[in-house]
Amino acid sequence: NSILKDIESATAKTQDELESYRIKFISKKSVVGELFNELKNIPNDQKRAFGQEINKVKQAAQDKFQELIESLETQSSSGSSNHIDLTLPPTGEAGSIHPLNIVKGNIIEIFERLGFNVSDGPEIEDDWHNFTALNFPENHPAREMQDTFFIERNPDMLLRTHTSNVQVRLMNNNKPPFRSIMPGRVFRNEAISARAHCVFHQIEGLYVDENVSFADLKQTLYHFAKELFGPETQIRFRPSYFPFTEPSAEIDISCQICHGDGCQLCKYSGWVEIAGSGMVDPNVLENCGIDSEKYTGFAFGMGVERITQLKYRVNDLRLYTENDIRFLKQFKTAN
């Protein structure tokens, strides 16, 4: 009976108090639970009466529990506690999109307007898709330990060093024409510093069809640079070498667009490199089962960190991964 009184007078103004009530009167180890344990010590002729009695107590305890839950709920929806009402419109500070994602989104959008779609591929890759199919000679320095993270137990497997593996997979598994861009994470065995990181992001582009020419490549990237960096941007192509493209060119943009810290990237020359590019080497097309007499194509690849550095004047690559809220907050209104 004293238990019944306690139950009657119990209150719960917070979730914690509700939980204490539950432990005290409802759980197996509660005072009510104890009564049920005692049942086995009661003489047989009294068992029935005792049983009815404790069932009443149990029922009372549960009714009261329900009552307390309900009153807590009405109390909190009237705003008098710290209960969170998920139906209210958001208040307080919203997060911001990571700068690398903003720039990746910008780049994808520009190419989508030109009719490119987005393709994806694995980060753990075999030698053939990352190197051999792309016409890397047997002893090309890029295969060496200092550049590539090989997977120890299986020297044929590695962390992709560029997104060009997606080119190979796309061409191998589909029929031309292709017009695709391929964003993704890539890995190189580099010491982490303000200018280098062992994990970074690239966006690769591939366009293969009949009669694709170097003029198409130039015009596409010319348009891209002006869209991303502004209409006053100058672009220049510098002859270069990649195993998988012939001829190859590195693409520079003029860097009047950059002031202050970000300018360390183009301090003296007034030009800064933003991408590698070239006409897909016929060997690569053939390796992927594409008729190189009929089809030609161009490819390009750029580093998202680097482009973000130029666009937002970020002077240290490490800032991207440190999760410092003071850095991230600055991109709140950017896009």
Q: Which residues are annotated as a binding site for Mg(2+)?
A: 246
Q: Contacting ligand PHE (CB under 6 A), which of 143, 162, 306, 311?
A: 162
183 binds ligand PHE (CB under 6 A): no
Extract the tokens encoding 192: 């982490």
> Least Å distance between CB 245 and ligand PHE?
5
> Closest residue to ligand PHE, Cβ-based?
301
Residues 108 and 118: beta-carbon distance below 8 Å: yes
Report in angstroms how near the CB of residue 256 gets to ligand PHE at its nearest: 25
- Cβ–Cβ < 8 Å for 142, 244: no
Phi, psi angles (nearest 5°) of residue 182: -135, 90
Cis bond upstream, residue 176 (ω within 30)? no
Containing H/E element for 248?
strand 245-254
- Name beta bridge partners: 207: 179, 298
Nearer to ligand PHE, 64 or 162 (CB): 162
* Minimal distance, residue 100 CB to ligand PHE, in Å: 17
- Contact between 116 and ligand PHE by CB under 6 A: the answer reads no
Region from 53-61, 97-105, 147-155, 275-283 binding ligand PHE, contact rule CB under 6 A: 275-283
Q: Among residues 274, 299, 314, 319, which is the contact residue for ligand PHE, using CB under 6 A?
A: 299
Type of residue found at 310: L
CA dist 38 and 43 (Å) reads: 11
State which of residues 111, 131, 229, 242 lies at the interface with ligand PHE (CB under 6 A). Answer: 242
The vertex-231 CA angle with 226 and 233, nearest 5°, equals: 65
Q: Contact residues for ligand PHE (CB under 6 A)?
A: 162, 164, 204, 242, 245, 276-278, 299-301
